[in-house]
């Protein structure tokens, strides 16, 4: 295994290579999980058409090897959230991203990508509103990226939210879902940030 963020298989589609080069080399890791209007606009301009192709089912040829599968997941699970921030379409391809992530993990492709890029195989499970997926995300971070304590913390926090509500209340507005009284109280008391702080203080 090399120290590069992606494998070196020459047959990876050129569009997929551009996705990986941008996300894993050009963008700094600290930018991956913050709301940045400039980055959102850049991704929308450079990769919005790829998101549309994914929605149309036109990127299936990417799903034959690790690099292509990883690029597909980044487009459908990560770029989607930048392109369509605060819009229901941010989550429109989550099911496809999960299916590809599970396929890749079952094939062992995640192990062929060195951290930190490996984490993006597990995030579609962490983004799922299904507790089985959440449990698997936590196990994967524990077993296959044990050094990534921040990722594991967030995986555990996402699982806590799903255990309590069966969904992510912070998606309700974008998805047009009514927020329950319990969810509203949770948000008022700090929401996801409060869950993170509580887990940080608990014994590991």
Residue owning tokens 């936590």: 138
Burial of 158 (0-12, 13-18, 19+ CB in 10 A): buried
* pLDDT band with cut points at 50, 70 and 90 for residue 5: low
Report the alpha-carbon distance of residue 156 to residue 200 in Å, rounded: 10
Reference 196, options 160, 172, 170, 164; nearest CA is 160
Percent of the chain with pLDDT over 90: 91
Reference 4, options 121, 116, 162; nearest CA is 116
- Its pTM stands at 0.91
Is the per-residue pLDDT at 143 higher than 70? yes
Is residue 129 a contact partner of residue 168, using CB atoms and an 8 Å limit? yes
Is residue 22 a contact partner of residue 75, using CB atoms and an 8 Å limit? no
* pLDDT band with cut points at 50, 70 and 90 for residue 42: very high
Supply the CATH classification number for the domain 129-204.
Answer: 1.25.40.10
* pLDDT band with cut points at 50, 70 and 90 for residue 92: very high
Where along the chain do the CATH 1.25.40.10 domains lie?
A: 129-204
């Amino acid at each position: 295994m090399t120290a590069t963020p992606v494998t070196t298989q020459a047959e990876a589609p050129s569009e997929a290579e551009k996705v990986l080069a941008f996300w894993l080399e050009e963008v700094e890791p600290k930018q991956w999980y913050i709301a940045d209007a400039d980055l959102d606009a850049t991704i929308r301009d450079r990769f919005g058409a790829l998101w549309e192709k994914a929605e149309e089912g036109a990127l299936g040829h990417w799903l034959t090897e690790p690099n292509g599968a990883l690029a597909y997941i980044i487009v459908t699970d990560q770029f989607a959230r930048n392109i369509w921030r605060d819009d229901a379409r941010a989550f429109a391809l989550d099911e496809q991203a999960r299916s590809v992530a599970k396929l890749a993990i079952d094939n062992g492709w995640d192990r062929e990508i060195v951290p930190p890029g490996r984490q993006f195989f597990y995030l579609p499970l962490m983004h799922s509103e299904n507790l089985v997926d959440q449990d698997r995300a936590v196990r994967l971070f524990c077993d296959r990226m044990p050094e990534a304590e921040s990722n594991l913390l967030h995986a555990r926090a996402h699982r806590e939210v799903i255990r309590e509500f069966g969904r992510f209340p912070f998606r309700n507005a974008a998805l047009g879902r009514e927020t329950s009284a319990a969810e509203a109280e949770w948000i008022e008391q700090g929401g996801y940030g409060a869950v993170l702080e509580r887990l940080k203080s608990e014994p590991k």
